[in-house]
A and B are shown apart, each in its own frame.
Chain A
Amino acid sequence: MTSSTKAPFEYAPAPESRSIVDIAPSYGLFIDGEFVDGTGEAFKSVNPATEEVLTEVSAGSEADVDRAVAAARRAFTRVWGPMRPADRSKYLFRIARLLQERSREFAVLESLDNGKPIRESRDVDVPLAAAHFFYHAGWADKLDHAGLGPGPRPLGVAAQVIPWNFPLLMLAWKVAPALATGNTVVLKPAETTPLTALLFAEVCRQADLPPGVVNIVTGAGDTGRAVVEHDDVDKVAFTGSTDVGKQIARAVAGTRKKLTLELGGKAANIVFDDAPIDQAVEGIVQGIFFNQGHVCCAGSRLLVQESIHDEVIASLQRRIGTLRVGDPLDKNTDIGAINSAEQLARIRELSDYGEAEGATRWQPACDLPERGFWFPPTVFTGVSPAHRIARDEVFGPVLSVLTFRTPDEAVAKANNSTYGLSAGIWSEKGSRILKIANQLRAGVVWANTFNKFDPTSPFGGYKQSGYGREGGRHGLAAYLKGNDA
């Protein structure tokens, strides 16, 4: 009855069919309700899991951005701004329903372009994106009751630049509140993940959204700069790296533009000795390996109480051994591909630093595909707060484990970061959770869970993680001015 010889339960490949998506050989920009050719140099979008070129996409030049902003301004002044709020909400409901109807298409396309597992694009990204439109559709005609005073007014044209980690979801976070509050938008998706934004443009047409209300200008950093720095923009919203966020803050300083920044993070996930250990281990995994760790609020610093360190790490390593790394379109995949060669290089560089500085690297045995960009789930133990892997955002599947002895030490170490986007607390003791949560300088604090998102809940950071909130009632304020303004 010894059991080491048991046949393992192998899961046969269960790939989601990609036939549902129809990727054109090339794409233009979406300006004033039409797809038009960009005047900048076209660039390729690749599938990071295979390095296959998916399509060619126009890069927006300054002239293109100018046209897009002009279209957005026209739509704001003539159609969207004056429109009855209840009618705006009808368009948003329509978009939300279309996202649901075409959810499989969006999920497959997102996984192809981004490399994230289909389980996540199908069960998290796309449903949450639809939820954001539903939620904000409900707000459109109730803004008087948002606590911003009577008759809050839209700002005008919003310039929005979004990252590659949640391409469609970040679009929804930006576009839904802007539209619900009566603004029009010019959105620049990330260079490596433009495809779901372009499919969203198609949804806007399907929903009969008036031309110019949503404009999508693809491109790299130069296009983004042109969008953000355009004179006729009233609002800038950016999600991305802290470096770029600083450049944007400088560019916007002294202008009339309102600014929200959602930047990097180095979240502490604090596990106390009275935590529900099995669920805490799940939460650690969800915190750092969700979306390959390409999450600004990822729980990349595990702070575990010394008395349970060995037990938690053993449990964690066993659990990580069951993670399935591979084909993002396989329905059983837990961890997909790293989004780009550039990002992979950065993850490697920081991991090598971790080892050089004396931390211990642990990775499970796992076969990585030969082509594409891959990095195995990684845990560093013996990390000191002085190590770079405890301070710099890796933005990859790399967890740094630190320990603490008392609650005060946990709080001090958690707050000892230039970032302050999110944090997690694991304890069965309610009073402790409430006390620690109040002491953490982080915009979002999760208790006995991690990486849970909901459109009703405001999201945003402290310190170098940015400012302004997205989602919930607070998120509306970023796109409105009071009558006294």
Chain B
Amino acid sequence: MTHLLDPDALPDDARALMAPLPPYDDVTRSDSAFRAFLHGLPGVDQVGAEARVGVLGTRSIKTTSKAWAIDTAISMVDLTTLEGADTPGKVRSLAAKARRPDPGDPGCPSVAAVCVYGDLAGVAREALGDSGIHVAAVATAFPSGRASRAVKIADVEDAVANGADEIDMVIDRGAFLTGRYLDVFEEIVAVKEACGDAHLKVILETGELVTLDNVRRASWIAMLAGGDFIKTSTGKVNPAATLPVSLVMLEAVRDFRAATGRQIGFKPAGGIRTTKDAIKHLVLINETVGADWLDPDWFRFGASSLLNDLLLQRQKLRTGHYSGPDYVTVD
């Protein structure tokens, strides 16, 4: 059956495979319908969004709440290495740190995941064993995403076969910025399928989308397409995870759950280096989406240097004095 008022709409059977959750199961029926839906989302006023995170940035998190925040943040870290120079040795050392971030303190929580390129996912999987720590692999021609869909799918399948149980994909920003929203959507659906049981994090690369309106639209595309997490950035583009961007993405997951009942996770990545940055994000979650998201199942920090600062601050709280970079391990 063709859609009565939308002659461009795909036939029902072609859509059924990738229809989003109700009440949005009809919005991807055609390019124009999808565009109308995305452009009909409420706009974001940049000045207002910045003012809001500015006020939340003044929250004063001290003593017991700081201790709780630091441990919670450590347990949410996706400990990341994404360099051309990565080796199995480097990944093993990262895995050891992921298990026991502070060798001097067994009470220190382990991190949520180790995040590597797909070819090293197997090394990470082996090194992490049955620790319960996840192996996340970036895929889909990370970080640019400039490859054919077949190559991207193969990249994902390879990473999953190597042992990754979380896939961090990048969206096709070129398609997004030229307004081919349905292409972006379909690619995410295809990647999700290739993931099998692996969790899918969808990287929007907000530094290339630039406007907060775009961030909101891209977030909705990723959620409608079945992403389990939406993630700000690759860490290879500046700016990365800014607080206004995080605010808009959190509002998106909040609104999506209210409408569909499905909860989506959020991962800011890139540029979060200090405990202060991390705590600002926890406050932002707490006061935007609430405690339901304050859990490694629903929130992650994509970071490499953040962990050491969290550990230093943790030691400071326990001992009352600052140590130094030699009291935490180099990766």
* Chain A residues near B (Cβ < 8 Å): 1, 3-4, 6-12, 14, 119, 123, 274-279, 282-283, 322, 331-332, 428, 448-449
Contacts and interface: CB of A to CB of B under 8 A. Distances in A.
B65 A12 contact: yes
Given A279-B45, A331-B60, 11 more contacts: A3-B291, A6-B291, A6-B292, A7-B68, A7-B294, A12-B63, A123-B58, A274-B43, A283-B48, A331-B59, A448-B48
5 contacts: A8-B286, A10-B65, A279-B48, A332-B60, A449-B48
Shortest 6 CB-CB contacts between residues of A and residues of B: A279-B48, A14-B60, A331-B60, A3-B292, A279-B45, A276-B45
B127 interface: no
The A interface, classified by DSSP as helix, strand, loop or mixed, is loop
A275 B42 contact: yes
A310 to B, nearest CB: 12
Contacts of A322: 287
Contacts of B147: none
A168 B45 CA distance: 32
Contact of B291 (A9, A11, A279): A9
A139 B293 CA distance: 52
Nearest to B58: A119
A11 B59 contact: yes
A278 B42 contact: yes
Contacts of A283: 48
B298 interface: yes
A474 to B, nearest CB: 25
Contact of B295 (A6, A10, A428): A6
A282 B51 contact: yes
B52 interface: yes
Nearest to B64: A12
A276 B42 contact: yes
B62 interface: yes
B14 interface: no
B65 A448 contact: no
A282 B292 contact: no
B47 interface: yes
Contacts of B51: 282, 449
Interface in B129-163: none
Among B43, B45, B64, B68: residue with most chain A CB under 10 A: B45
B68 A9 contact: yes
B282 interface: yes
Nearest to A330: B60
Interface string B3-44: 000000000000000000000000000000000000000111
Contact of B69 (A3, A9, A123, A332): A9
Contacts of A278: 42, 44, 48-49, 251
A409 to B, nearest CB: 22
A10 B42 CA distance: 31
Interface in B283-317: 283, 286-287, 291-295, 297-298
A9 B294 contact: yes
A167 to B, nearest CB: 22
Nearest to A334: B55
Nearest to B49: A279
Contact of B48 (A4, A8, A11, A276): A276
Contacts of A449: 47-48, 51
B177 interface: no
A7 B283 CA distance: 14
Contacts of B45: 276, 279, 428, 448
A4 B292 contact: yes
Nearest to A308: B42
A277 B295 CA distance: 27
A331 B49 contact: no
Contacts of A8: 286, 291
Contacts of A282: 48, 51-52
Contacts of A1: 297
A322 B282 CA distance: 14
Interface string B59-97: 111111110110010000000000000000000000000
B273 to A, nearest CB: 21
B44 A276 contact: yes
Contacts of B294: 6-7, 9
A462 B24 CA distance: 48
Interface string B192-210: 0000000000000000000
Given A3-B263, A3-B295, A275-B42, A12 B47 contact: no
Interface in B244-299: 251, 263, 282-283, 286-287, 291-295, 297-298
A332 B59 contact: yes
A83 B63 CA distance: 54
A441 B59 CA distance: 38
Contacts of B47: 448-449
Given A6-B292, A12-B65, A448-B45, A331 B263 contact: no
A279 B294 CA distance: 23
A9 B283 CA distance: 8
Among A11, A14, A119, A275: residue with most chain B CB under 10 A: A11
Contacts of B295: 3, 6
B49 A11 contact: no
Contact of A276 (B43, B65, B68, B283): B43
Given A6-B294, A277-B42, A282-B48, A331 B58 contact: yes
Contacts of A332: 59-60
Contact of B282 (A3, A9, A276, A277): A9
A1 B299 CA distance: 13
Nearest to B254: A318
Nearest to A311: B42
Contacts of B42: 275-278
Nearest to A322: B287
Given A276-B48, A278-B42, A449-B48, A7 B291 contact: yes
Contacts of B287: 322
B263 A279 contact: no
Contacts of B298: 3
A274 B282 CA distance: 30
Nearest to B216: A278
A365 to B, nearest CB: 14
Nearest to B44: A276
Among A1, A279, A332, A428: residue with most chain B CB under 10 A: A279
A12 B66 CA distance: 8
